[in-house]
Structure 1
């Protein structure tokens, strides 16, 4: 059995990593200031042809922090960050943390009720959004907790204006409460009052669908974030002068912690390219000499599909990691054969503040003989992983059970949700809801999912939310949503729908209908219109049967609509 004192995986560690190592700082702000003090003139951020040194970024975030404070933002206040991967994201995070405020990363693909629900739950006092989203955001959040909206333009902090990313060079009028770049100029040279933070202070509230129910706000503390960013930096052998490319979106825990904070708190350059575009990201690898990044396997697959992509684009890369979605062994091999770079697996959750299990640099992940599953790696320093049977008893190596994780990376609970915290985090240990196997050497294989949650390119989709959107269509009688395997995305959203008597609707119409109400990745890519749905005797729809179903659409008996 694997106990808390038995860590066979440490034999797989490279470079003499301390299995019990802890970060030297108590807050992200202190870690950031140490970086600025040691190398103020090195480039901290790049955004196409724009750069900010560590000192310039420090002064910009000071000014923005004062601007936030002038609007009543104080320690413990929650502020939504509703942006793509642009420098203003990093500036905003540092500004909020300097005030002792809490950043609430919000997916900019969210619309209306899905955005309003998270903002209301967090009780956010303000929000930073792109200038193109001002009007809809203001309407969505009217009469709620938000007191101010500050906008920003993706045209700022660079002048290349790549049309593949910026779309338009037309500037939109800023929000009435101000524009980020203008506020930085207005409050230039001012500093916020010092706020002493501890490892227990919350840095982020990141929303996850979790393993059951609606989205829950994970409270990621400064200690949680540093425990992961510091450890993963050492693990991935990130060194002074390295170049980190922000491939994973910063509104996702992976992008926020082991791209952004990892880079900001070390003497490295963080490169932004806006919303993910495969050609732009491919070019950035070569242009900026990227040495490390982590992104979803979907992103790397999109890059690999580009005919112009070559090994030369990845010549500077030392370590490439993929997290957030399952990676088939064949995908890793195809990438390595074409580009000469091995994509290392990494595993983490919002509740573990990102990656806590990963493949060591230079190692190739083994494949589980029976299931054919590629290993997600071994637990990182100061992480304890156990595989439990249904009674909570650790199982022997090679046997499957639920993956449990504990350590300083694991959150203490969910925002304003003590019951969910009690169920998912008994005694501070996280029950992940993933079925896994650990071998005798400590390699972990995730072989199944306990719950019905769907993982699309690293984004979590709860079926009920999609079903609720489908039920809004007047022709829909019953709906069930499941995830099915997809080599490109990990999983894809599939809906089974029966229609009301005498009503009509096409699969394409239903897909379009959901896309008006949900983020694009949540909308079904396939809709099967069927005569009826399988149910239990009590009338509960059997998603399990649908997941592996051979049921075909009445509309298109061959395959439904994608």
Structure 2
């Protein structure tokens, strides 16, 4: 169930991998400095028409770190970032490490209740926030937390071209009790923080889980986790090896933290940022900066393909495109290749695996399981053991379905301040993913679905992913989400929520008939509801939970 050195797919990777994949740096700051030494004058960050060189990033983060230390920040303290995809995010991250601290990445969509919890749970003493987010949310939250220093900044910094599609309502705002981040940096410009010793097992940042099964938990991503997964991206996906990386995923998310920031530091390669995901703005940025790699949710990639004005030329510069966050259907992969001329590869991981635990090696086509029709999410990353286990924690035979369990250098040390949750979800250091899947004899991993999303219809197991993949084959379907809803006769029955492609028309009855022709009788949806947009997380993952909750609250009692 584990290992990789004897797998036939190893030969598919052009340079091969040693049996003992060496982690090159002790910590992420050392990794950053190695990239700086290799290309000090090169662009580290590109933000619309603005650029920040590696040397400038080093100097800005030095000044910020020196200022933090001068204001009482100490080794092990937490600094929270409440930002969109802006250069200040990366500056704050590097500065936190230089000051010996731990960065806490906060979703900029978090509102008062959520922000209050995250600041309190992490014990952050410094907050770096967009001015608008401070005004709308944080100003009422901060007084009741341990935050002693608030540094505010603007999305208008580091660029001069005022894009009205994103910044129409933006204006500079100064708030009592806060300090402007760039003014703070200027006050300490030229200062260098004292040397800091960061060990591989020290926490680099806290990334919070979505809280779908309770309150959010702060995953403790260590420096070893960060360096290892950055190397996996570089060596297995070609990230940054041919040019710039485009930051399509939110930087606060583990995909953005590793698949964008960390690997851009390691290679080193320019990282292109565009504030937040807005399809037309992203398309313009692709033509302007001509990046060669990105990784993002398939829903975000599909949004680009369906945006007005999209042409094949928008992806002409890419040599490597990956999808993470959710498994993709063979239909979606084929549609992307047809539209762009570039294949989309699969990778799979969680917050707790610091991004990838399995990866499709660059240039290797992911196999399709002939029984389920599922597209593989890759093979175990180097030095990684992936097991498929039953409910009692026993390994199941190859090809059989069970929970995906992983252990390796990317698995987090645990959850911040939550030893019971750590013991339950990371027994013995192995992560119980909550995803159900299987592994082929060649080592390819296939995801069936989330364990908690399984539908029990008249005693039969129905996995929503399989129904969604069949719906994706219909030419009018843009996206779909399948959930179980209460049914007097079947206990649960299958319901599909579908959004339709622009210019297409289809009825619920036609979609039901489409599935009925292609699936066993117990699997096809008995109900289909066509809606404009499916609910999603900020990373583009479809929220079946919201649809289930909506059904439960609207159903007559």
TM-score category by the smaller chain?
0.7 to 0.9
Partner of residue 103, structure 1 = 103
Aligned-residue offset at 1:273: 0.4
The range that moved more, 407-416 or 385-394, is: 385-394
Aligned-residue offset at 1:104: 0.7
Q: CA deviation digits over 1:126-182, x for unaligned, max 9?
A: 211111122330202322221221110000000012112222352212563311221
Partner of residue 53, structure 1 = 53
Q: Per the alignment, do residues 7 and 178 of structure 1 end up closer, same or farther by CA in structure 2, a change over 3 Å counting?
A: farther
1:37 aligns with 2:37: yes
For residues 247 and 155 of structure 1, the distance between their equivalents in structure 2, rounded to whole angstroms, comes to: 19
Partner of residue 88, structure 1 = 88
Contact 1:356 1:383 in 2 (8 A): yes
For residues 138 and 107 of structure 1, the distance between their equivalents in structure 2, rounded to whole angstroms, comes to: 16
Contact 1:161 1:169 in 2 (8 A): no
Matches within 5 A, 1:42-441: 42-135=42-135, 136-174=137-175, 176-209=177-210, 212-239=213-240, 242-441=243-442
For residues 418 and 232 of structure 1, the distance between their equivalents in structure 2, rounded to whole angstroms, comes to: 30
Q: Per the alignment, do residues 495 and 110 of structure 1 end up closer, same or farther by CA in structure 2, a change over 3 Å counting?
A: farther
Q: Per the alignment, do residues 177 and 7 of structure 1 end up closer, same or farther by CA in structure 2, a change over 3 Å counting?
A: farther
For residues 207 and 555 of structure 2, the distance between their equivalents in structure 1, rounded to whole angstroms, comes to: 40
Secondary structure of 1:142's partner? helix
- Could you list the runs of 5+ residues in structure 1 that have no partner in the other structure? 455-481, 497-514, 534-562
Matches within 5 A, 1:490-505: 491=481
- Could you list the runs of 5+ residues in structure 2 that have no partner in the other structure? 456-463, 473-477, 487-534
Contact 1:239 1:267 in 2 (8 A): yes
Aligned-residue offset at 1:238: 3.3
For residues 433 and 66 of structure 1, the distance between their equivalents in structure 2, rounded to whole angstroms, comes to: 42
Partner of residue 446, structure 1 = 447
Aligned-residue offset at 1:267: 2.1
Partner of residue 493, structure 2 = none
Q: CA deviation digits over 1:230-272, x for unaligned, max 9?
A: 1211111235561001111011011011111110222210111
Q: Per the alignment, do residues 210 and 442 of structure 1 end up closer, same or farther by CA in structure 2, a change over 3 Å counting?
A: farther
Aligned-residue offset at 1:489: 6.2
Aligned-residue offset at 1:277: 0.7
Q: CA deviation digits over 1:88-142, x for unaligned, max 9?
A: 0000000001111111100010101111111111111121111112233020232
For residues 68 and 495 of structure 1, the distance between their equivalents in structure 2, rounded to whole angstroms, comes to: 52
Secondary structure of 2:179's partner? coil
For residues 78 and 492 of structure 1, the distance between their equivalents in structure 2, rounded to whole angstroms, comes to: 40
Secondary structure of 1:321's partner? strand
Secondary structure of 2:145's partner? coil
For residues 383 and 519 of structure 1, the distance between their equivalents in structure 2, rounded to whole angstroms, comes to: 25
Aligned-residue offset at 1:304: 0.6
Contact 2:240 2:263 in 1 (8 A): no
Secondary structure of 1:330's partner? helix
For residues 254 and 193 of structure 1, the distance between their equivalents in structure 2, rounded to whole angstroms, comes to: 31
For residues 243 and 67 of structure 2, the distance between their equivalents in structure 1, rounded to whole angstroms, comes to: 32
Q: Per the alignment, do residues 175 and 210 of structure 1 end up closer, same or farther by CA in structure 2, a change over 3 Å counting?
A: same
Contact 1:35 1:265 in 2 (8 A): yes
Q: CA deviation digits over 1:356-392, x for unaligned, max 9?
A: 2121212221111222211111111111111112332
Contact 1:27 1:222 in 2 (8 A): yes
Partner of residue 17, structure 2 = 17
Contact 2:403 2:434 in 1 (8 A): yes
Q: Per the alignment, do residues 176 and 137 of structure 1 end up closer, same or farther by CA in structure 2, a change over 3 Å counting?
A: same
Q: Per the alignment, do residues 422 and 211 of structure 1 end up closer, same or farther by CA in structure 2, a change over 3 Å counting?
A: farther
For residues 454 and 33 of structure 2, the distance between their equivalents in structure 1, rounded to whole angstroms, comes to: 40
Secondary structure of 1:146's partner? coil
Matches within 5 A, 1:527-542: 527-528=550-551, 530-532=554-556
For residues 3 and 216 of structure 1, the distance between their equivalents in structure 2, rounded to whole angstroms, comes to: 28
RMSD: 2.8
For residues 440 and 271 of structure 2, the distance between their equivalents in structure 1, rounded to whole angstroms, comes to: 36
Q: Per the alignment, do residues 53 and 336 of structure 1 end up closer, same or farther by CA in structure 2, a change over 3 Å counting?
A: same
Contact 1:44 1:51 in 2 (8 A): yes
For residues 439 and 295 of structure 1, the distance between their equivalents in structure 2, rounded to whole angstroms, comes to: 25
Q: CA deviation digits over 1:51-87, x for unaligned, max 9?
A: 1111011001111111222221111111111100000
Contact 2:245 2:271 in 1 (8 A): yes
For residues 82 and 49 of structure 1, the distance between their equivalents in structure 2, rounded to whole angstroms, comes to: 23
Aligned-residue offset at 1:448: 2.1
Q: Per the alignment, do residues 290 and 355 of structure 1 end up closer, same or farther by CA in structure 2, a change over 3 Å counting?
A: same
Contact 1:87 1:272 in 2 (8 A): yes
Q: Per the alignment, do residues 267 and 204 of structure 1 end up closer, same or farther by CA in structure 2, a change over 3 Å counting?
A: same
